Structure 1
């Protein structure tokens, strides 16, 4: 369940490298699609941090759920620092809170007892990460601002590894390892204000095939 020190060090090194890139003088403003990606991934981070904290705090939660929750808090806190930095560079204002859909998910998780929490947490996060990976792949393929595309390239392995951890956890708990029908995702597949084609992510979307080393997929 725990990722290697090397993997986490590689993530930090990559983010640091992006942070050290000089700003391009007179760089054009990002497209609306790039701006929307920054806003959406920021809300993904806010939601994942809150959901992960809930998993850590749930006394009756499976230890594996707690462990993944802790990884979510750590990784998304680090990732959001970079999202905030890049948004500042390109002059994009980030939302203060998750989407209403994401807030509703957190409220639902907060209202569950211990016997229901593990299943709801894992299934909802599988759907959310499926959507987040799809969205990030789309930004890498279609984004026009190099700064935002670089950020998406750094975010992708983080999202994929957390998705893989959730899939492994689902298998250990005897749950489906692909997004389940009827589960609210942690990222809205149709984010308001998106001006370019965005991937349509349904709860039944099969896992992406480009996650390294995992039979995986695809996230206020």
Structure 2
């Protein structure tokens, strides 16, 4: 079951009926979104550990890397149980976030990183709530619960840096998409290549999140 396309105009359409409950197109798309979010945020978290000049941003980076590694493991496990193919790269838009932040000066990086994560995770939080309230599949409910906790943690830790530009974050979060579907869709994985896995930072002091059963 290929899970890298954007959901069609029929997100409620049932595409599978496993023992864990009916699976809709929106459910499948959600698993892909969680995977893609982890792929770009994990990269940015590692960047924060290497690039930032402030302790608060490095702390946020460590939280992102550790949490995204844990959530990614749950996402890959759920996808495997449901037969959903996951991408190994984030969407072109998300790759753009990474490239822009990589080009920032160390002084500018903190504000841009905190604001971007706050805006994108704010959007993801709304998606999680929608999927959690409508899905009929127990595995999707469990993944949504874990994703909800992770995203709230990320929003909180970047807000604690004091560097979030809230006007810009809310504008990005609430503006309708202006990019074509191609830019919002992760590319399919390369055939024959091992699946990309996300790992916690070396010497991480962030406790792994308990797995939601």
Give the TM-score, by structure 1 length. Answer: 0.67
* Structure-2 residue corresponding to 1:102: 94
Q: Contact conserved, 1:29 with 1:90, CA < 8 A, in 2?
A: no
Q: Aligned to 2:169, what secondary structure does the other structure show?
A: coil
**Aligned equivalent of 1:32, options 25, 37, 47:** 25
**Aligned equivalent of 1:42, options 27, 35, 54:** 35
Q: Contact conserved, 1:43 with 1:95, CA < 8 A, in 2?
A: yes
RMSD: 2.9
* Structure-1 residue corresponding to 2:70: 78
Q: Contact conserved, 2:118 with 2:155, CA < 8 A, in 1?
A: yes
Aligned residues, how many?
165
* Structure-1 residue corresponding to 2:49: 56
Change (3 A) 1:95 1:160: same
Where does the alignment leave 5 or more consecutive residues of structure 2 unmatched?
A: 1-16, 187-213
- Deviation string, structure 1 residues 1-29 (Cα, Å, up to 9, x no partner): xxxxxxxxxxxxxxxxxxxxxxx975566
Give the TM-score, by structure 2 length. Answer: 0.69
Partners of 1:49 and 1:112 in 2: CA distance: 17
Q: Quick one: higher RCO (CA 8 Å, sep 6+), 1 or 2?
A: 2
Change (3 A) 1:188 1:110: farther
Change (3 A) 1:92 1:66: same
How far off its partner does 1:43 sit?
0.3
Where does the alignment leave 5 or more consecutive residues of structure 1 unmatched?
A: 1-23, 194-220
Q: Contact conserved, 2:20 with 2:139, CA < 8 A, in 1?
A: no
Q: Aligned to 1:97, what secondary structure does the other structure show?
A: coil
Q: Aligned to 2:148, what secondary structure does the other structure show?
A: helix
Extract structure 1 runs of 4+ deviating beyond 4 A.
24-29, 187-193
* Structure-1 residue corresponding to 2:208: none
- Deviation string, structure 1 residues 10-69 (Cα, Å, up to 9, x no partner): xxxxxxxxxxxxxx97556621110000001100011110110010010x4311001100
* Structure-1 residue corresponding to 2:139: 147
- Equivalent residue runs for 1:181-220 within 5 Å: 181=171
